[in-house]
């Protein structure tokens, strides 16, 4: 649980991170840095007020081809 509204770009350097669960947060869109984190194995993102649709997740899934996204 966090008041963050996005993720910092510096997370793109966290190459040892494999699973990222960012629920709940104040996010209203997918943080751009996630598109750079192609080594992730699993990502879960959303909150009570915003849960990403398949349409919103599709671009991320295309970039993170080997990653389980939501």
Top pLDDT among 41 and 22 is at: 41
Instruction: Identify the pLDDT of residue 2.
Output: 66
39-61 pLDDT, tens digit each: 999 999 988 888 999 999 999 99
4-20 pLDDT, tens digit each: 788 999 999 999 999 99
Domain ranges in the chain are: 9-69
pTM of the model: 0.87
Three-state DSSP string of the chain: CCCCCCCCHHHHHCCCCCEEEECCCCCCCCCHHHHHCCCCCEEEECCCCCCCCHHHHHHHHHHCCCCEEC
Average pLDDT (18-33) is 90
63, 42, 57, 28: CA torsion to nearest 10: -120
């Amino acid at each position: 649980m966090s008041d963050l509204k996005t993720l910092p770009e510096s997370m793109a350097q966290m190459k040892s991170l494999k699973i990222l669960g960012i629920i709940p947060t104040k996010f209203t869109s997918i943080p751009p840095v996630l598109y750079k984190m192609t080594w992730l194995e699993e990502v879960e993102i959303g909150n009570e007020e915003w849960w990403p649709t398949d349409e919103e997740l599709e671009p991320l899934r295309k970039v993170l081809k080997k990653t389980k996204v939501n």
